[in-house]
Structure 1
Amino acid sequence: MNYAIITGTSKGLGAAAAQQFISEGMQIISVARTENNDLKQSAADAGSGYSHYSCDLAAAEQVLSVFSQIAETVFKDAEMVYVINNAGVIEPIEVTGDLDVPLIQTNVHVNLTAPILISNLFLQRAKETDSKVVIANVTSGAAERPIHGWSVYCSTKAAVNMFTMTAGLELEQNGSKSRVIAFSPGIMDTDMQATIRSSSEEAFAELQTFRKFKESGSLRSPEVVAGALVKLILADTLENGKIYKVNDLL
């Protein structure tokens, strides 16, 4: 049995990736605070196995509880397990000194802590059951350069990259058959982009540039990006710890 476990499936890249996996005949496990009913129906129409787990990724205890349940299910009969740590938040968009403390905490928990906890748990279970897991951590170009107003987002995504590279190095040195990579999806036409465009120039100096991305039609659809991601991880030629960029894949 092949499973695809995807966080942030309620919309955007997560929903589009799940749709791609359905077309590949995968067993889909959706993880988000709210269920995507269109995704559920698509799986039913295709005759694909589907289950949804509600989870607040900002709550570490909830992440461990939910993903322990998922692991208990999938590792009973899994041949391949794909984990897409896709869920992410951009807020707070604000200059340092004016950052909202609860938003800082949520950003760190969702963007960084949750992917680490999930990766750690699934690699542990894969080792115990002699299974193969492929983990893709969704990152951002913001991990590679400072962006005015995005200090927390840049920092968490940079940390995701370093975690991915380090975990990949460890898997290689241990001779594991599992893989961990990061995937940078570029700029997409999603709700996150809408949130960015609704900020102020005082909080985000590149506001007009991002508004022009939308106006000029420069934003890729989540479906196009999801197609590149799914094709990448199903090709079975992944380099452990590598950060793959969508611009190099399309």
Structure 2
Amino acid sequence: MTATSHLVTKAIVTGHTRGLGAALVDALLTRGIDVLGLARSNRAPVADAPPLPGSFVEVELDLSDSERLAQWLSGDTLAAFLHGADRALLINNAGTVGPIGPCAVQPPADVARAVTLNVTAPLMLSSAFSAATADVPDRRIAHVSSGAARNPYAGWNIYCATKAALDHHARAAALDGEPGLRVASVAPGVVDTDMQGEIRGIDEARFPLRERFAEMKRTGQLASPEDAADTFAGYLLSDAFGETPTADVRSL
């Protein structure tokens, strides 16, 4: 689905500098959608990249720092970007898989950072986005979820718990019935990103399923970020988005 010429669509994407986030930005820009990227660093320029229909701006913002995020949200950048939109999108993509391992080996500071990045930041952004788009007739929040939100895995208790939190936020927020607001937590499938490389590099004692993910890489079972992003964006822009609060792109 492409953005129509008369419909002004604007999107915020977190964790936009690499992997699925970078591919989502390109998928949206290709559809003529203006994008605001939020991440702790700017996206590296791509040499000889062709111009895309949508415009792109980015903000350096460490989403694991909730005080800094709250300060940024108290300003006018978000509202200024969204001004004039007929359709507004928020994709909460930024996240971390660590700390990996049983509770006893998890540094408490790492647990706090993961919960802040994976849960606190998306929920803060969702609240601010909903308030800033109160007059936008079509607004949509997409949490990037995971199969780990719906199935427990040894070594991933933090990742499973934080992704499950996003799923349940979507379920509850959908019941609030805010006018024009659709919310869904969407699993993109197993995508060939840096996170997958991190998983394959972890000690098997901390993550017993490591070999399963290594085998998926060896046998070409990982989806490319571009393919996953195209399917994700198509679903986000479709009339079906929000009909169910949780979804998986592999079943669309």
- Using structure 2 for the length normalisation, give the TM-score: 0.91
CA distance in 1, matches of 2:12, 2:33: 10
Q: Quick check: 2:64–2:121 contact (8 Å CA) kept in 1?
A: yes
Change in 2 beyond 3 A, CA 1:39/1:48: farther
SS of equivalent to 1:3? strand
1:3-42 pair list within 5 angstroms: 3-38=10-45, 42=49
Q: What corresponds to 1:208 in structure 2? A: 211
Q: What corresponds to 1:226 in structure 2? A: 229
Pick aligned residue for 2:89 from 82, 95, 104: 82
Change in 2 beyond 3 A, CA 1:16/1:130: closer
- Report the identity percentage: 30
Q: CA deviation at 1:50?
A: 1.6
Q: What corresponds to 2:3 in structure 1? A: none
Q: State the one-letter code of the partner of 1:213.
A: M
Q: CA deviation at 1:130?
A: 4.5
Q: Quick check: 1:150–1:204 contact (8 Å CA) kept in 2?
A: yes
Q: Quick check: 2:31–2:53 contact (8 Å CA) kept in 1?
A: no
Matched, 1:66 2:75: no
Q: What corresponds to 1:192 in structure 2? A: 195
SS of equivalent to 1:45? coil
Q: State the one-letter code of the partner of 2:35.
A: I
Runs of 4+ displaced beyond 6 Å: none
Pick aligned residue for 1:179 from 182, 205, 215: 182
1:103-114 pair list within 5 angstroms: 103-114=110-121
Q: What corresponds to 1:151 in structure 2? A: 157
SS of equivalent to 1:161? helix
Q: In the TM superposition, what whole-angstrom CA distance separates every residue of 1:174-206 from its partner, at most 9, and x where no partner exists?
A: 5x1111111101111100000001111111111
Q: In the TM superposition, what whole-angstrom CA distance separates every residue of 1:137-166 from its partner, at most 9, and x where no partner exists?
A: 001100112111111110001111001110
Q: Quick check: 1:40–1:50 contact (8 Å CA) kept in 2?
A: no
Coordinate RMSD, CA, aligned: 1.8
Change in 2 beyond 3 A, CA 1:47/1:241: closer
Q: Quick check: 1:143–1:157 contact (8 Å CA) kept in 2?
A: yes
Q: State the one-letter code of the partner of 1:150.
A: W
Q: CA deviation at 1:22?
A: 0.8
CA distance in 1, matches of 2:129, 2:215: 40
Pick aligned residue for 1:45 from 23, 28, 51: 51
CA distance in 1, matches of 2:171, 2:243: 8
Q: CA deviation at 1:126?
A: 1.9
Aligned residue pairs, count? 244
Q: What corresponds to 1:94 in structure 2? A: 101
CA distance in 2, matches of 1:239, 1:201: 38
Q: Quick check: 1:29–1:51 contact (8 Å CA) kept in 2?
A: yes
Q: Quick check: 2:85–2:136 contact (8 Å CA) kept in 1?
A: no
CA distance in 2, matches of 1:246, 1:40: 31
Q: What corresponds to 1:54 in structure 2? A: 60
Q: What corresponds to 1:160 in structure 2? A: 166
Q: Quick check: 1:169–1:240 contact (8 Å CA) kept in 2?
A: no
Pick aligned residue for 2:145 from 117, 139, 150: 139
Q: What corresponds to 2:246 in structure 1? A: 243
Change in 2 beyond 3 A, CA 1:142/1:40: farther
Q: State the one-letter code of the partner of 2:223.
A: R
Q: CA deviation at 1:40?
A: 10
Task: Name whichever of 188-197 and 31-40 sits farther off.
Answer: 31-40
Q: CA deviation at 1:37?
A: 3.0
CA distance in 1, matches of 2:143, 2:48: 26
